[in-house]
Chains A and B, each alone.
Chain A
Amino acid sequence: MKNIITIAAHELRRLFKSPLAWVILAVVEFLLAILFLILLNQFMNPTPWFAGRGVTEIVVAGLFQVSGIVLLLVTPFITMRIFSEERRTGTIKLLLSSPVTITELVLGKYLGTLGFLIVLLALIVLMPLSLLMGTPLDLLQMFAGLFGLFLLMASFAAIGLFVSTLTSQASVAAITTFGVLFMLWIINLASTTGGEVFRAIFSYLSLLKHYDSLINGMLNSVDVIYYLIICITFVVLSIWRLDGERLHQ
């Protein structure tokens, strides 16, 4: 456990040492702030389309919806260097020759990355929270959405973590992660064609479908378990991959 914390703290510290982390925080916050203002403006000047929907549904859920897409674009840049850079610079040898198991190593790196994503999440959620000064919000719906966003990020990070164990080129890891995430995002489009079973499978696999119900305030165990399965699967795959690499390089 101590080792996991050491590695996680080191990962987080190194992320904040690079300009990349700060730029990501700034850009994401900037883009989402613009969207937040647009959504707020729409709510203040309602069109018939918005009739009967509250501020939480329009502004908060809308913001989370877009945040999911922005994170899909941004997370690969955070996860790309997790292992690929260690391998390229040879620092992985320091880790492998230390009294640290591969499991501790992978979990430490994963938690450190999640730590950064939680900071990002905190910055995002400050915007809807600021509405509390002027209007009551459906806090439960908001927290369901927030939880959904966290699960979504954790899944992105787990997939990115695994991809970064496959290569020593950070940019290759980034583009591959993006490809995988985007595919999982739009896979439900495939469900518009084909038979009943086909449709059910593809719409279950889609990251988007499960996220939609969470940001609308529905906390289904199916959705939560879906994300947990993704996280655990890719963390375990990363452990296997690194363990196997020592034998078959």
Chain B
Amino acid sequence: MNSETLISINEVYRYYGHYCAVNNVSFTVARGEVLGFLGLNGAGKSTTMQIISGVLTASSGSVSIAGFDIMDAPRQAKSQLGFLPEQPPLYNDLTVDEYLDYAARLRGLDRKNIKPAIDMSKRRCGLQDVGSRLINNLSKGFQQRVGIAQAIIHTPAVIILDEPTIGLDPVQIREIRELIKELGRDHSVILSTHILPEVQAICDRVLVIHEGRLVFDQQMKNLNEEKQDNFINLAFRQSPAPDALENIDGIKGVEQISERRFRVELNAGSMALDNLVRDSVANGWGLIEMSPQTDSLEETFMRLTTGARESA
């Protein structure tokens, strides 16, 4: 994988009047990376994406695309950029072919390259059969695909997709996810979504934005690694003696969550669980629950966006 930085966002602020929608956001995205952008409604996702794509201007801070600053060299920067806003920017009275032709020209493709570019992006988005139909008459899913086709028609280095799978049926969602994964191989992709499993399925990295601030930035594989089975949640009918759990062979540490609930850390590969069950039966603790602690994306997301402000 190439580690060339394609998107670099540096201390970006954006105010709407006195309201601060984006507050000191900085991150970089490398080539070949698919970045998932999460946040509640109104957290500043769309604003950030529009700033990256030059639709809005940052109140302060800088954005550069493939090494070109979006304010100082907008032409070079934007020719490396494909953007699908939340609402696909379609002209309903044009046919798909006419629309893609216009999008290709706007992106500065040469006349002789336009036809192959349209064919390529139609093929990638499964639009071969609707080329001569009016966009107005297409279903929502197809319109969404036309929106994606316009964003990739000039094979930009950076692709920004604001909720690309919204309004699609499950089959289409799967196709679009495959497409995004494929695009992620040699482009940088930023996508925002509300569907957490989608992020788990296609993203290499997750950002969570909350109230305009970036509160979480982690590689997906690290997030999954935390899901090791070393932490176990336990619940008993009878609370065991305080140090009884600690004395079990193979248990590294014990944390009491509530009166009858504990979280224990096991030594990897030990027989601790067998010992624990045996002791529970022998002492009549009444083990009623035993589940591996998972620091899943959903839990992380909920923790970051509901109340837990100390993380910000």
Contact = CB atoms under 8 A, between A and B. Distances in A.
Contacts of B53: 93, 96-97
A6 interface: yes
B75 A91 contact: no
Given A6-B102, A247-B59, A99 B108 contact: yes
Question: Max chain B CB contacts within 10 Å: which of A2, A99, A101?
Answer: A99
B146 to A, nearest CB: 11
Contacts of A97: 53-55, 78, 81, 83
Contacts of A95: 106
A7 B93 CA distance: 16
A94 B89 contact: yes
A94 B103 contact: yes
23 contacts: A2-B108, A3-B106, A3-B108, A7-B106, A18-B93, A89-B87, A91-B91, A92-B89, A93-B53, A93-B85, A94-B103, A95-B106, A96-B55, A97-B53, A97-B55, A97-B83, A98-B106, A99-B77, A99-B78, A99-B108, A100-B78, A246-B57, A247-B56
B88 to A, nearest CB: 8
A91 B150 CA distance: 12
A45 interface: no
The 8 A-B pairs with the shortest beta carbon distances in the complex, nearest first, are A94-B89, A97-B83, A99-B78, A98-B106, A99-B79, A97-B53, A91-B89, A90-B87
Contacts of A10: 102
Chain B: interface secondary structure? loop
B107 interface: yes
Interface in A73-126: 89-101
Contact of A17 (B55, B59, B93): B93
B273 interface: no
A69 B102 CA distance: 35
B16 A98 contact: no
B126 interface: no
Contacts of A17: 93-94
Contact of A93 (B16, B55, B93, B107): B55
A12 to B, nearest CB: 12
A193 interface: no
A243 B16 CA distance: 16
A89 B89 contact: yes
B57 A247 contact: yes
Most A CB contacts (10 A, CB to CB) among B53, B88, B106 go to B106
B93 A249 contact: no
A18 B94 CA distance: 10
Nearest to B103: A94
Contacts of A89: 87, 89-92
Contacts of B89: 89-94
Contacts of A14: 91, 93-94
Interface in B35-78: 50, 53-57, 59, 74-78
Contacts of A2: 108
B174 interface: no
B115 interface: no
A93 B55 CA distance: 6
A93 B106 contact: no
A166 B113 CA distance: 37
Given A94-B89, A249-B56, 6 more contacts: A94-B103, A99-B75, A100-B78, A246-B54, A246-B57, A247-B56
Given A246-B55, A246-B57, A247-B57, A100 B91 contact: no
Interface string A2-23: 1100110010011001100000
B233 to A, nearest CB: 46
A10 to B, nearest CB: 5
Contacts of B88: 90
Nearest to B53: A97
Given A91-B90, A98-B78, A101-B74, A246 B56 contact: yes
Contacts of B185: none
A97 B103 CA distance: 11
B54 to A, nearest CB: 6
Residue from the set A2, A89, A94, A100 with the largest chain B CB neighbour count within 10 Å: A94
A99 to B, nearest CB: 4
Contacts of B221: none
Given A93-B50, A249-B16, A99 B107 contact: yes
Contacts of A96: 53-55
Given A6-B106, A14-B94, A96-B54, A90 B85 contact: yes
A99 B90 CA distance: 18
B105 interface: yes
A92 B86 CA distance: 13
A93 B90 CA distance: 10
Nearest to B87: A90
B230 to A, nearest CB: 46
A249 B108 CA distance: 28
Contacts of A249: 16, 56
Interface in B100-136: 102-103, 105-108
A17 to B, nearest CB: 5
Given A94-B89, A249-B16, A99 B57 contact: no
